[in-house]
Structure 1
Amino acid sequence: MRRVEGERGPGGRRLAAAVAVALVLVHLVRGAGRVVAEPAAGVAVVAACLVLAGLQLRHTRGAAGWGGWAAVEVGVGFLAVGPLGVSVGLLCLPAASLLLERRRVLLALLVAGAAAVEAGRAAEPREVVDLLLTVALGGAMLYAVTALALLAGRVHGARLELAASAVTDERLRIASALGSGLDAGMARIREAAERRDPAALDGLIDTAQRTLGAVRAAAAELRSLSLAPEAASARALLGSAGIAADLRIGHREPLGPAGTVLAVVLREAVTAVVRVGDARRCEVSTEERAGRVVLRVVSDGVPTAALGADVLDDLAERVRAVGGRLAAGLEPDGRFAVEASVAVAPAPAAVDPPELRTALGLYWFLLAVFCAKALMFVPPSRLWLGAGCVAVFCAFQVRFSIRDATRHARAALLASAVLALLPLPWLGRNWIGAAGILAGSLLIALPLRAGAAAAVAVVAAAGVVGGHGPVPVLLTAVSALVTCVVVYAVLRLVRLVRELQRAAAGRRAAAVVTERLRAARDLHDLLGHGLTAILLRAELARRLADGDPARCRAELAGIARLAERGRAELGALADDGPRLSFTAELASAAAVLEAAGIVVELEDGPVPDAAGAVLGVVLREAVTNVLRHSRARHARIAVSAAGGAVRLEVENDGVGADVTAPGSGIGGLTVRLAGAGGTLAAGPDDGWYLLRAEVPLR
């Protein structure tokens, strides 16, 4: 219910060790009490208890060790309960070890031996049954706690491995889904270009256009799981227009199809804010409300012109198509707000691993044994009172401790406290277990300090009410404390394992989203830009087909090279990402710009491979923006290294009223550069449009 988030596997091992110590505590206290009257026997009992607790710790460390240690535990245990006269309940420690090591034969011999020893001591059969139940209960609970601690350690240790495996699986799935269609398109483009036949240009251009459409659709589908790329684009777009951007992201990802619709709403709303141009501040926020993700874009610009009716109608229709809602209007403070909400599919329910189901089953066993032991010593005349108290108390435990219900939890705790303490004088010695169970539940249900104080108070009260005289009071309190520690450890570890599972699932989901976004960026930045360059050169070749056949064939040769490189980049999606040669990218960029009739000035310099791989992508995006969004006639590309960083500048003289803001791809580049520790800036500069990217040298 709380305080689980930062805990790790070693914390679980400490809990298991605490339970082992707690289970020998009563015997240890009694042994220490014998030291004055029987020094040798008292010291031997204390030593046996410490040895058994120490041997139990080998399981919490997950070490198999020498296979004969279980037999040693059994021998030490029977030495203590036989010649030294210790209670048979001490055998719960070797019983837990035999359960953990699956020594069924030895476990059967231990149970038979314990029954024989107790039969020789007990005055009546129910005493024998009571002690055997104590051994079974202690052994089962220690087994459960130790198994949960080891499970928590494995889940915690495997979280990175699981995330890496999820990334690998997703990478292969993406490569398989994209490889056939897109690779076939690039292959057809290359084959048509290699024929050097101008008559094939129309078919080549048609194939390139369809392949480019498929690339953009695939990239959009990959991006749809997350609003992060569109949020980065929105920040860059607003910043370039001089509008202060305040982004507050409060939803969990992945979003699935809802992400695609909300990304469109975000893009259109922010573009409208920039287009109107009089806003000074824009707030973008997301949150989850009752199974829906709500996106709000609020600006202080002109409210009536923030969105045209046609744009708003189109957005509303798209949002309604997926079962969502969209509204726009003035806020009480006079700002204009666009709000869209879309339902998201609930995350699939987590399936408990077998060890966790076993531990929960053993907790049910604890309650069942508690019921049996509690009713065993209730006087017949009060059996109805005991049965009622047991039924109500266990019902509270099932609902508020095992199932984690929160409604009426405080009232249930108060009722449980009354049931645990008030009937103690009338329901016999074994009702003390109720106080221990309550104390353990209080440690789980309340904040740490309050829970500890309440648990200590319950244990002390149980000792005072259930004991008569200093020694019985102490032993009763210690017995309640042992039950408290066992209950707390089981419930705590159940919550810890579930929290670790949720954290691992969240890490896997985040890793998959990150991998899909990487693939989307690579498709957009590499293959998409390559196809844009192919289309541009194909159009140029078609214009040159009649007047300059030689240059037309040269352009077709260049197209074939671009198509082959595109196929290689597509294959690299199954790896960590394409590694670009910046020198090749620079030459390609200059050729594409010159093919478009733009005079290019190059200021080249050495670029390390790591920085070149990132800057090559930036260069492609910059060149594509020059071709798409400007009327440039001159361009300058400069690369320099200074101050521990490599800087790329791409500027052109095609600045116009409609191109003062960067394209949406700039947001993706910002994210990519941030991952490499770099920065990106873009905007008008002295009559030209300048894009500047810096990547630190490593």
Structure 2
Amino acid sequence: MTVVFGGFVVNAAQYVVAESTALAHVAPAAFCLTVMMVLQLGFFATPTADVRNAVGYAALVVQAAVVLGPIALYGEGWTGMPGFLAGDVLLVLRPPAGWVLFALIAAANGYAQYRLTDVPLEAVYITTLTAVIGLVVYGLSRLRGLVRELADARSELAGLAVARERLRFARDLHDLLGFSLSAVTLKAELAYRLVPGRKDHARRELAEILDISRQALADVRAVASSYRELSLDDELASARSVLTAAEVVVSVRCTAGELPTRTRTVLATVVREGVTNLLRHSKAETCDIVATATADGVSIEIVNDGVRPVPEERPDGNGIRNLTARVEALGGTLTAGPGPDDTYRLHAVVPHLSEDGDQADATPDPRRGQAMAPRIGTLIATAVFTGYAVIGSVFVVVSKAEPAGQVFAEACVLASLALVLGFFSRPEARVRSPLGYALLGVLALVTYLPGLLLADPYLGLHGLLAGSLLVALRARVGLPLFFAVVVSAGVIHLLEGGGAINVTYGFLVTVNHGLVVFALSRLRSMVSDLHEARSELADLAVTGERLRFARDLHDLLGYSLSAITLKTELTQRLVDRDPGRAQQELSGILDVSRQALADVRAVATSYRELSLDEEISSARDLLTASDIAVTVRVEPVELPPDVRTVLATVLREGIANLLRHSHATRCGITLAHEDGVLVLDVVNDGVRRAGGTTRARVTAAVGGSGSGIRNLTVRVTGVGGTLCAGVEEDDVYRLRAEIPR
């Protein structure tokens, strides 16, 4: 960003100096350019700066003065600088005002150029240049903040992705053990009554308790160790999420269709363990995961560029040996090791199986479609790159080439634009592939041929080629080639007899355009990543909170079930020898099983004492990570545990619903006393319409067992309060809980 902005400034400075080197002529320009850059880099483009307030408006006025004032003194040499003001307008003012003023600045600058030169084509050129510079300023300034936001979001996603996996285990535990523990409780009560007079019957009940407790303990261990039915789609989605969070460029394709349970589970295990080993033992930057149905069976292949020696796996580990054993158990094969082109390849093939385990044909069900990048990144990149093409077309029109030569040059300009827009800047494009390298060659041809064949150094979009090299190649190769293109652009001007300004222009424009292509391509990708991250954060936020309750479940129930098993075995031995003692042990079994059942239900439904302070802090962090401006005002107050838990639950569900169902940009959270009533207010500007009309504010009805407004209303009513939720007249959505002191 600094290099690109500096390039614009240096370009303007050289025109000023070319007119005159007198101090009185140069000093005002130097002062204005310095102030402009300080404001741009130190305020407008700073991620932590709040530019939409009085300070931001004042800074915008100062920026307008140092950008527009010198036009009267320096004329054409200063016509690129209003682009900075146009970009800052987009950063400070909200739509549509920002975009309207942006268009007016570009049009006014073009008109000023027309008044200076009376050449319509130059007016078009300057209008386009101003708009392009404005979008570059806006896009790169947002990029700086997006880098930070994406790092925070990825870090949180990495933890929450793991949380989702662990919660899945907790959910399985609840499903498995709710019935088992209820059965143990009922049978222990029955055995207690049977011990005095019907010992044979009591022994049978104890034997069944022992079987149930042993099976339940095995279920706990099985679920906690991930030995259960797995979903291949879930594992592929999880792999994509975790690898993206680890900044690995990942491509996932699945055309395996519907699979039998055993096949699906084994392939999902291969994906999980392969990705885990990649993250633990390699330094991969790219990873391709492909699941396909073939004539021989179903294949899963994981290829990454982080080559490493095959680690020695323990016989009882979950590594390559264990995966091989699981795949071979279904009659399949698994291979792992370095492959061609410095890649590491894990490949498993499982023959077609029916649900009962016999081989059968599988019907592929191709998955297609990838999420489009959000419009903002796409529109900025498209507008800027198209602007570069328009500027290139202006140079074609004013060139001295024959009509056939101009047609050829224009075709090359359009081809360059099509390659960059249609391939190199697309987030989902596989630019580091044989196709990508071939298209780089084509882009180089259409960049250099017009200038060389028509002897005009201004023909050819060298910056688009330079930026695409940075996008498509690793730094150790891309950077040298980038600088080679930059040098070549200046040398071409020099060989064609250009002066110092022309040669400097060739260097600067290629550097600027190249870095902008690279940055906006990354911006487009990062906006897409952040959009997906926000959706995932909304889904995973509740997961992370519920994990707090689930994290001790295995240890807790492992102990409880072991205790039930031991006490049942002891009771079996005591039934004949000491019935009274047997009944005492059965009482202990009942206590343990009831407590374990309560623990399962409490963990699974999150009914425990919550910390309101933790929930507020969590809400602030989550909203900030989701690019939502949040304000929190909390009055210090001592609350009973039940009230604190209810308010924490209201806040948690309110924030989760906000992220899932609204398009909010601002949210306010307030906890205060109003006339003897404790009020929790959650307000946001992401109003969702129902049937095209704004919903009236409503008081949620009591009832229902869901986790939404009805369930929250029940909980608030339980502590003597009321809860309201809905859209208000000023187009904000308010969730409000009121509880009497």
One fold, TM greater than 0.5?
yes
Match of 1:391 among 407, 410, 414: 414
Match of 2:181 among 170, 178, 186: 186
Match of 2:35 among 51, 54, 74: 51
Matches within 5 A, 1:232-271: 260-261=265-266
**TM-superposed deviation, 1:52:** 1.9
In 2, the alpha carbon distance for the partners of 1:17 and 1:55 equals 12
**TM-superposed deviation, 1:535:** 3.5
Cα-to-partner distance string for 1:514-571 (whole Å, 9 max, x where unaligned) = 9999999966654245334423432442443243211111210221232134235535
Alignment-derived partner of residue 22 in structure 1: 7
Tell me, what secondary structure is at the counterpart of 2:185? helix
**TM-superposed deviation, 1:369:** 2.8
Alignment-derived partner of residue 93 in structure 1: 84
Structure 1 residues 120, 474: closer, same or farther in 2, change over 3 A? same
Alignment-derived partner of residue 594 in structure 2: 564
Q: Does 1:319 align with 2:330?
A: yes
Cα-to-partner distance string for 1:366-391 (whole Å, 9 max, x where unaligned) = 45534543444245623322232223
Alignment-derived partner of residue 61 in structure 1: 46
Structure possessing the higher relative contact order (Cα contacts under 8 Å, 6 or more residues apart): 1
> Where in structure 2 are there 5+ consecutive unaligned residues?
196-200, 230-249, 255-260, 271-286, 292-298, 303-309, 316-320, 336-346, 352-363, 609-741
Matched-pair contact (CA < 8 Å) for 1:92–1:139: yes
In 1, the alpha carbon distance for the partners of 2:174 and 2:490 equals 70
Please say which structure displays the higher CA radius of gyration.
1
Q: Does 1:550 align with 2:569?
A: no
Q: How high is the TM-score relative to the length of structure 2?
A: 0.55
Q: Does 1:369 align with 2:390?
A: yes
Structure 1 residues 510, 466: closer, same or farther in 2, change over 3 A? farther
Matched-pair contact (CA < 8 Å) for 1:81–1:87: yes
Q: Does 1:140 align with 2:135?
A: yes
Alignment-mate amino acid for residue 261 of structure 1: V
Matches within 5 A, 1:347-496: 349=370, 352-366=373-387, 368-370=389-391, 372-378=393-399, 381=403, 382-398=405-421, 401-402=424-425, 403-405=429-431, 406-424=433-451, 431-432=458-459, 434-446=461-473, 447-465=477-495, 468-494=498-524
Structure 1 residues 299, 141: closer, same or farther in 2, change over 3 A? closer
Aligned-residue identity in percent: 26
In 1, the alpha carbon distance for the partners of 2:5 and 2:466 equals 18
Structure 1 residues 409, 190: closer, same or farther in 2, change over 3 A? closer
Cα-to-partner distance string for 1:327-382 (whole Å, 9 max, x where unaligned) = 89xxxxxxxxxx96459999995663454334443355345534543444245623
Alignment-mate amino acid for residue 206 of structure 1: E
In 2, the alpha carbon distance for the partners of 1:21 and 1:297 equals 49
In 1, the alpha carbon distance for the partners of 2:538 and 2:206 equals 41
In 2, the alpha carbon distance for the partners of 1:189 and 1:226 equals 23
In 2, the alpha carbon distance for the partners of 1:408 and 1:316 equals 34
Structure 1 residues 430, 146: closer, same or farther in 2, change over 3 A? farther
Alignment-derived partner of residue 42 in structure 1: 26
Alignment-derived partner of residue 116 in structure 1: 111
Structure 1 residues 471, 169: closer, same or farther in 2, change over 3 A? closer
Matched-pair contact (CA < 8 Å) for 1:522–1:573: no
Tell me, what secondary structure is at the counterpart of 2:382? helix
Cα-to-partner distance string for 1:55-77 (whole Å, 9 max, x where unaligned) = 22223212124122223222222
Q: Does 1:32 align with 2:17?
A: yes
Alignment-mate amino acid for residue 420 of structure 2: Q
**TM-superposed deviation, 1:46:** 2.4
Tell me, what secondary structure is at the counterpart of 1:541? helix
Moved more, 425-434 or 51-60: 425-434
Q: How high is the TM-score relative to the length of structure 1?
A: 0.58
Structure 1 residues 297, 172: closer, same or farther in 2, change over 3 A? closer
Matched-pair contact (CA < 8 Å) for 1:26–1:475: yes
Alignment-mate amino acid for residue 434 of structure 2: R
Tell me, what secondary structure is at the counterpart of 1:82? helix
In 2, the alpha carbon distance for the partners of 1:561 and 1:503 equals 45
**TM-superposed deviation, 1:129:** 0.8
Alignment-mate amino acid for residue 390 of structure 2: V
In 2, the alpha carbon distance for the partners of 1:521 and 1:340 equals 33
Tell me, what secondary structure is at the counterpart of 1:213? helix
Alignment-derived partner of residue 334 in structure 1: none
Matched-pair contact (CA < 8 Å) for 1:19–1:489: no
> Where in structure 1 are there 5+ consecutive unaligned residues?
1-15, 228-250, 266-286, 302-306, 329-338, 579-698
Matches within 5 A, 1:510-549: 526-528=556-558, 530-549=560-579
Alignment-mate amino acid for residue 68 of structure 1: A
Tell me, what secondary structure is at the counterpart of 1:84? helix
| Alignment root-mean-square deviation, CA | 5.2
Q: Does 1:77 align with 2:90?
A: no
In 2, the alpha carbon distance for the partners of 1:258 and 1:374 equals 61
Alignment-derived partner of residue 220 in structure 1: 222
Alignment-mate amino acid for residue 61 of structure 1: T
